[in-house]
Amino acid sequence: MDTVCSGKQWDVALARDTQGHITAAMPYLIGSKMGLRYVLQPQLTQYNGPWYRADVNIAEATQQLVKHFASLRLTLFNQNFGPTITSLDDWKGYRIAQRVTYRIEDISHPDEVFARFDKRHRQRQIRHCESLLHPTDLTPATFTKFHTQYWQSRGEKDLLSEEFMTRIITTALQRGQGILLGLNDDDGTLRAARFVAFDSHCAYALLSALHPQGHLGGASPLLFWHIIQQLATQTQSFDFEGSMVPSIAYSYSLYGAQPVTYYQLTRYANPLIRILLRKM
């Protein structure tokens, strides 16, 4: 949270048992604008939500978390809970929306993962590009500049600042919890790049970019394949980070990824706020 909330305020809601031991914890980004307080998802943080101690009464712990957020008198609360959080009955008054990400649940045997790739990815794209594009390590600064140029080439503004991306990537690499990989062509030109963060349970595809003036069609699949091979002994699963967009969801399914449900919780202090935000 220190890394993704740098320059902003964050806190943590705690639940305790009768002996004062922590039974649940939920970190959150909190801010205010024009006197209106909100809790939102930090940038590049697909999931947040509560952590529960293994032996805890979830209902009792959740009620304490709900009470904490009620005490903040928020105008807006919006959080994505991770896929492991499925007990939501005690989040009274919150709008709960089902969302979907795509995951390969077990990447410990890369050859088996590759065998489940769509035939077009496995034979026509990856195999074709392996002799044309070569893996290369990147510095965070090189990647963030490449990322910005990619979005500019599409006529859009990069929603993430280079300073923010550099901080996230640098922190992950320093902790041994990130992979930053690019693909160069024979001339040494960077054609595609991707950043993935991971822990012992799952890897998350957070950032990617393609050369503004063109790239081979198999560059993105080849990057995924190289990264999955590197991660096979370091984590269990690979999360493609979305998506609810049908065309993107379909592209992830071609890697053998399966849909995984997670939940988004939203609460507005006043229905008029919801209407106003939709128009902004």
- Quote the CA–CA distance of 164 and 246 in Å, as a whole number: 29
Range list of H helices, the chain = 58-71, 110-115, 119, 127-129, 140-153, 162-174, 219-231, 246-253, 271-279
**Can you read off the two tokens belonging to residue 32?**
């205010």
Over residues 138-150, mean pLDDT: 95
Q: What is the CATH number of domain 106-235?
A: 3.40.630.30
pLDDT score, position 199: 96
Give the type of residue at 27. Answer: P
pLDDT score, position 271: 66
pLDDT score, position 279: 46
pLDDT tens per residue across span 162-207: 999 999 999 999 999 999 999 999 999 999 999 999 999 999 999 9
Percent of the chain scoring above 90 in pLDDT: 79
- Quote the CA–CA distance of 204 and 237 in Å, as a whole number: 9
Percent of the chain scoring above 70 in pLDDT: 95
Q: CA angle, corner 236, sides to 232 and 239, nearest 5?
A: 100
- Quote the CA–CA distance of 220 and 228 in Å, as a whole number: 12
Give the type of residue at 76. Answer: L
Top pLDDT among 35 and 5 is at 5
Range list of H helices, 104-139 = 110-115, 119, 127-129
> For 9-98+262-279, which CATH class?
alpha beta
Over residues 48-59, mean pLDDT: 93
pLDDT tens per residue across span 81-140: 999 999 899 999 999 999 999 999 999 999 999 999 998 777 778 988 999 999 999 999
Question: What is the distance in angstroms between the CA of the first residue and the CA of the last residue of the chain?
Answer: 27
For the chain, where do the domains classified as CATH 3.40.630.30 start and end? 9-98+262-279, 106-235
